[in-house]
Homo-oligomer: A and B are copies of this chain.
Amino acid sequence: MTYSYDYPHPAVTTDIVIFTVQDNALCLLLIRRGEDPYKGKWALPGGFLRMDEDIEHCAARELAEEAGVQGVYLEQLATFGTIDRDPRERVISVAYYALIPSDDVALQAGTDAAEAQWFPLSDLPPLAFDHSDIVRMAQQRLSAKMSYSTIGLQFMPAAFTLSDLQRVYEIASGKTLDKRNFRKWVLSLDLVEETGHKQTQGAHRPAMLYRVKKPSRIDIIK
């Protein structure tokens, strides 16, 4: 430890990248800033760390306060701290990312933020601070994770077909997947189960609706 504790301290914040899949697009929740700097600009939900809370708790709290989103899969992404990233003072931000099912999107109603809105990643507005760098890294991490993990199940609503699940994996990873291999992989994980109901869509033959098994769901969130 090279310096004394009198040394000036930076501010510490968390910023959260919340992904969901809506209308066949990977989407991101943004908050319109009500104050300077970047007043009126879109930014990631986030805020200052309290001295009496762990960093992840801060991220979960800000997610609830600003976006009305609760109980989701939260993972630390990286810490951003370039000297001039905030015009007010030195601010170190610990970034997290979260995935929420498309049918939980309504949760954002609870927000206390000026304005919260979902944007497709392919069509984001200019972002405040270095938030576009944070988003870029989050998208890379998500895309890499999707290809070898069950993280994608976090996106799924209460009931879904295996085609829905494959589409979500393809959208979030940006890769086309082989239908037979994907189904084999998913079912081999034993993390989803049949709901007993089927979905009829247009001329297609009715497709079985699945749900994520509850215990495994908890495992994934852990």
Contact = CB atoms under 8 A, between A and B. Distances in A.
Q: How large is the interface on A (under 10, 10 to 19, 20 to 34, 35 or more residues)?
A: 35 or more
Given A2-B66, A53-B83, A81-B54, A12 B76 contact: no
B65 A83 contact: no
Given A81-B94, A94-B81, A5 B11 contact: yes
Contacts of A81: 12, 49, 54-55, 94
A9 B7 contact: no
A80 to B, nearest CB: 8
A3 interface: yes
For A5, A9, A76, A83, the residue with the greatest tally of chain B CB atoms inside 10 Å of its CB is A9
Identical subunits present: 2
B47 A3 contact: yes
Interface string A1-19: 1110101111111000000
B79 A94 contact: yes
Contacts of A8: 51
A72 B136 CA distance: 25
Given A1-B46, A9-B12, A81-B94, 6 more contacts: A2-B62, A2-B65, A2-B66, A12-B81, A52-B83, A79-B79
24 contacts: A1-B13, A1-B33, A1-B35, A1-B48, A2-B47, A2-B48, A2-B62, A2-B66, A3-B48, A3-B50, A5-B11, A5-B89, A10-B51, A12-B92, A49-B81, A51-B90, A54-B83, A55-B79, A55-B81, A76-B78, A76-B79, A79-B79, A81-B94, A92-B94
Interface of A: 1-3, 5, 7-13, 33, 35, 46-55, 62, 65-66, 76, 78-79, 81-83, 88-90, 92, 94
